[in-house]
Amino acid sequence: MENCYKRMPNDVEMPAVSDDQQALLMEECAFADIYKARRERRERILRESVPLFIRNKERILADEKTARCHIDGIRFGLAYSGEWKMPVAFLGGLLRLWENPLFQTECPKCHETAYCTGGGGSPLSGVKNIAMTCGSCGHQFEAHSTKADLKAVSFGNALVAAIQNSNAGLGEMEDECLPIEDVVHMLELEEYNAKQKEA
């Protein structure tokens, strides 16, 4: 405890860290934990919801707030270099991005089309691992190659550019939008109600 105090002119001991500084530090740690939990949840929601988004593509693109849903769960990292700063994709932009064969591959389970939700690789060997989710059966897997044979760095650059291009015309980041949690629940509820009517 001696290190936590410093001698003042009047022989009064003062803590090196005040109660308010300690409270601030605890708040910042709590915020960091909350942000990490939200990021992990949204990455999971994105990967689990690919079939839902594919089924409802026209519905999503027809609603501005839904089309502008911020998808911040796409990650791309390189060994030795760390995670790249990826632009936030709009959900409508992500659906456009998935039309590009570069971000598709065949699902090994049902042989339908699977779509890229992130990835990484090595800048030295060029080997890349792309996170994929099938738009039909929902199978999640990693692909080591895509229809376009790009090395890891080239693929990362292409992904960044494609996200930026696919957002065009859907509005601005500051415009009103729905969070992914609300979009997924709304689409699931609409599909459930449609099935109930058919039954």
Q: pLDDT tens for residues 116-136? A: 999 988 877 777 889 999 999
The answer to the question of residue 106 being in a domain is: yes
Q: How many domains does the chain have?
A: 1
Range of the domain at 167: 51-198
The answer to the question of residue 98 being in a domain is: yes
The answer to the question of residue 175 being in a domain is: yes
CA distance 125 to 150: 12
What pLDDT score does 2 carry? Answer: 47
- Sites in the chain below the pLDDT cut of 50: 1-2, 4-5
The answer to the question of residue 23 being in a domain is: no
The answer, as to whether pTM is greater than 0.85, is no
The answer to the question of residue 18 being in a domain is: no
The answer to the question of residue 42 being in a domain is: no
**What H or E segment, with its residue span, contains residue 149?**
none
The answer to the question of residue 38 being in a domain is: no
What pLDDT score does 9 carry? Answer: 57
